[in-house]
Structure 1
Amino acid sequence: MAALLCLVALVCLCPSISAYIVGGAVMPHGALTLDPRNFNGSDNATESANSLHYSALATGRFVQSLEADIILLLTPHGLALPEPFVLYNNPSAAGNVDLNSWLPCTFAPCTYNASVQLDTHLTKRLAAALVASGNNVTTLSGFGPPGEGSLPMPLAWGEVIPLYFIQRAYNDPDREAQPGMQRTQKPLHSQQEGPQQQPQRRRRLGRRLAAQAQSQPGSSSNSGIRLSEVQHPATTASDSTALPNFLLLSMPSRRYQHSVSMVPELLALGKALFAYLDSLDARIAVLVSGDLAHTWDSAGPYGFSEQAAQFDAAVLQWARDLDRDALLKAAAKSVGEAKSCGFPGMVVLQGILDQVKPDNMHSVLLEYGHPSYYGMMCAVFDFQGDA
């Protein structure tokens, strides 16, 4: 409940005139979040998947509310080279997820598609700026000259699933769920700590955001709050379906074995991304696609590790409290055994956060769960202060 009230307030705080990096989000890419009716788990696991689904919808709405001109998408599962980070350099990217490849699909649709337009001119300039500042980044194109490919660059689950929730927000900000899905009266479970556990600044922020949320039309203080009650900026029919242009940055394949040793490099990349993108005459949002520990289940493909719980707890503390050490020390200590694909992208995001004035940063952990063998989290970050 507290997380949803904070999200209402964050959405309502978004100004529409300043141009800079305005905020971002961490979103899961687990297929079971698309339509939890297809997930044949225990009651608790199904409830967790359902909550993650609705929180992903809310995250998409938050990203839409940032009114970004450009969205930078960081993916751990895109086209990858062993050493350099890759910026996609075709005019477009497209792909799909076949749900039957992940779990039996009983409820249509069973194929989810996503397509985005990529800003190739900005990609070229950004790549040059990142290389000039010492980062190991290259561009990758196909099906034609660089920046002019006649076919889209391929997208897969790491991009398609978060983009599905973003696209839904742009298609219809007031749409709550797929036909046939029933929202339970139980509110989304929040891992957010109570005010007594938060630093003093977060206590003040929580009270202020909650008070503002209570005053918004459609907000609710009861346990039956629905995501459709969250307020959003009005959009016209002509522009409601148009996603912003994207920049797409893929992690190198060495992240599978060397993500901890990459931490200084990932932070430096985040710093360089901020330095260039924050200076543009455009509103920029940052979207991290990534899941948490993949070692929650002994029957899963990566087995079980006690480090899964420690890693996920540290990441949640980071997302709740903007606790840098929780991510860079505690989570980094466990990621080798936890096997998280999302860790590198979150460290890049931390490199961006390091450049934002502390008083301008708000974060809300919307949801966390591990209904399957891997943990998933929805978290949003606003860099716009109280403007």
Structure 2
Amino acid sequence: MASISLQVPVLFYALISIAFNKSLAMSSGEIVGAFVLPHGGIAFDPSHFNTSNQTARQEAWLIHDAAQAVGEIISSLKPDLILLSTPHGIADLEKFQFYLNPKGRGSADTDNYVGPYRLAVDLDSISSQDLVRELGKLGEHVSGLSAFGPPGGAADPFPLRWGEVIPLSFVRSLETMKVAVISQPSRRYNDSVQMIPELLHLGAVLHDQLLLLQKRIVVLISADLAHTHDKNGPYGYSTAAEPFDQACSLWASTLDEAALVSTAAQYVNKALSCGYTGLVMLHGLMKEASLDNWMPKVYGNYHPSYYGMMVASFLRK
């Protein structure tokens, strides 16, 4: 009888533990992967890349093929929600903005291509409003934007451009998913280094709030790297471009925090990268879940034109 009396409490607590874990699983979601995709038109359609440099043309196709492969991976994960960070959206001076319309629609002219490429997506206005509310309560600099109508009720779609359209265009079966867009504030142009602590903190808090949405989630960072690789480009040439891109690649292949927030930060003001703040925010998000839980992989990092482009994935172990 003594052995029975000992087994009963053990069985009781085991059942309680199972019930608790099941309840926990039902009350929280899962971030199944994070990705970095470029938004340059060369990546979208290299066949219209106007260059006689065969190496540059080959690099453009490598980036395109890598982005296609990552798009397939995202589709295979079957997310309920894609959280897309864009540096070229409709932006506030100070605050990170979520798009609150039920639909999004827009176009992107690719490099040397008359186009444009058009895309329509379902935006998760309910989850976006939840994130705005809860992140605001926690003191984060976030707000929401609704276009041509009330939040969640506007009949017209929210306008999208290349920063959203091109990365999302690589995702197959997009019609089966919803998208939440967070637009980086325009102070990123001059204050990206000063924003690093804020971005890391926002990423960590965002991680926890995303889990509470009870959805299967993919995080997608729309990002190009240094824009100063070519003296004939619109921003000229800087010696900071190459080391900046290499530091970002080192981070994306190892999750070495110093490579991103120390080394790359030394060059970003002269490298002129539109995607840097999104990368730092993503690092804060992954760090909150423990960096050991992610498998980083860089598929390509090239600059066939004046700007650098990187394709990377971070899958959960």
Q: Which amino acid aligns with 1:82?
A: L
The residue number in structure 1 matching 2:48 is 38
Greater share of residues in strand:
2
Instruction: Name the SS of the counterpart of 1:341 in structure 2.
Output: coil
The offset of 1:104, in angstroms, is: 4.4
The 8 Å contact of residues 116 and 243 in structure 1, kept in 2 or not, is answered as no
Q: Within 5 Å, which residues of 2 pair with 1:1-387?
A: 19-41=29-51, 42-99=53-110, 102-104=111-113, 110-166=115-171, 169-170=172-173, 242-383=175-316, 385=317
Instruction: Name the SS of the counterpart of 1:354 in structure 2.
Output: helix
The offset of 1:278, in angstroms, is: 1.9
The 8 Å contact of residues 259 and 343 in structure 1, kept in 2 or not, is answered as yes
Report which structure shows greater RCO (CA 8 Å, sep ≥6): 1
The 8 Å contact of residues 141 and 149 in structure 1, kept in 2 or not, is answered as yes
Q: Distance in 2 between matches of 1:151 and 1:137?
A: 23
Q: Distance in 1 between matches of 2:176 and 2:144?
A: 22
Instruction: Name the SS of the counterpart of 1:280 in structure 2.
Output: coil
In percent, how many aligned pairs have the same letter? 44
The offset of 1:111, in angstroms, is: 2.2
The 8 Å contact of residues 62 and 380 in structure 1, kept in 2 or not, is answered as no
The residue number in structure 1 matching 2:4 is none
Q: Residues 260, 358 of structure 1: CA spacing in aligned structure 2 closer, same or farther, 3 A cutoff? A: closer
Q: Distance in 2 between matches of 1:263 and 1:25?
A: 20
The offset of 1:118, in angstroms, is: 1.1
Greater share of residues in helix:
2
Computing the radius of gyration from Cα coordinates, the structure with the larger value is 2
Aligned-pair Cα RMSD in Å: 1.4
The 8 Å contact of residues 87 and 123 in structure 1, kept in 2 or not, is answered as yes
Q: Which amino acid aligns with 1:119?
A: D
Unaligned runs of 5+ in 1: 1-16, 171-240
Q: Which amino acid aligns with 2:137?
A: A
Q: How many pairs are equivalent?
A: 290
The offset of 1:38, in angstroms, is: 1.1
The residue number in structure 2 matching 1:188 is none
The 8 Å contact of residues 76 and 345 in structure 1, kept in 2 or not, is answered as yes
Q: Which amino acid aligns with 2:210?
A: L
Q: Which amino acid aligns with 2:134?
A: A
Q: Distance in 1 between matches of 2:219 and 2:186?
A: 21
The residue number in structure 2 matching 1:231 is none
Q: Distance in 2 between matches of 1:355 and 1:121?
A: 24
Instruction: Name the SS of the counterpart of 1:151 in structure 2.
Output: coil
Q: Distance in 1 between matches of 2:78 and 2:288?
A: 21
